[in-house]
């Protein structure tokens, strides 16, 4: 099973990102589920969402405590102990930031011990340039699949085109492609 934990704030699209990723995995022939966890439902409040992908039926609906990948939509959350808690050795940390992956590794000493892949992309700039709003969910989906290859770019794009109205779908496809192309990764 491949487990993804998404960390963001209300309005950034973490719940939608988890769901689109799960839908792309199902399209690819896997079993998948996505679900959110949040307190007060308001824009700007911390949000955690989860995606599980497996070749077999998934019965576990508990929060993911040992993710294979952690996707951070809000760069200010990276220093929160909750965000990095339980990240598996050899896993992936994918962060929306203007910083280089090496800077993230230098900032958080435990990451080197875990021998994880650290990936960064400036999802906020990509979203602002294309969508004209700081909604970074589809940019972070592009970053996730570029780093992990857990689902294909084509399956994600197909789900986005099915889920969103045509004009919005094409904008988000452009965001996904741009993020996929611009992702920077350090694998330890």
Q: Is the pLDDT of residue 188 over 90?
A: no
Topology given in CATH for the domain delimited by 2-187: Pyruvate-ferredoxin Oxidoreductase; domain 3 (3.40.920)
- Residues 104 and 79 sit within 8 Å (Cβ to Cβ): no
pLDDT for position 156: 98
Q: Which candidate, 95, 87, 116, places its Cα nearest to that of 187? A: 116
Q: Which helix (H) or strand (E) holds 14?
A: helix 14-27
Mean pLDDT of 7-21: 93
pTM: 0.94
């Amino acid at each position: 099973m491949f487990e993804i934990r998404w960390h963001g704030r209300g309005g950034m699209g973490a719940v939608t990102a988890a769901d689109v990723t799960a839908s792309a995995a199902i399209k690819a022939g896997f079993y998948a589920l996505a679900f959110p966890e949040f307190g007060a439902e308001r824009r700007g409040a911390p949000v955690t969402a989860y995606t599980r992908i497996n070749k077999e039926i998934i019965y576990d609906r508990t929060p993911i405590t040992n993710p294979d990948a952690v996707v951070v939509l809000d760069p200010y959350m990276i220093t929160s102990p909750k965000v990095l808690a339980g990240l598996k050795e050899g896993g992936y940390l994918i962060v929306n930031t203007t910083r280089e992956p090496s800077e993230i590794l230098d900032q958080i000493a435990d990451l080197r011990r875990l021998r994880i892949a650290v990936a960064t992309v400036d999802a906020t700039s990509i979203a602002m340039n294309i969508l004209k709003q700081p909604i970074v969910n589809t940019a972070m989906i592009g970053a996730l699949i570029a780093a992990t290859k857990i689902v294909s770019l084509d399956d994600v794009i197909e789900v986005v085109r099915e889920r969103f109205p045509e004009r919005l779908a094409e904008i988000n496809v452009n965001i996904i492609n741009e993020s996929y192309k611009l992702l920077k990764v350090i694998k330890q």
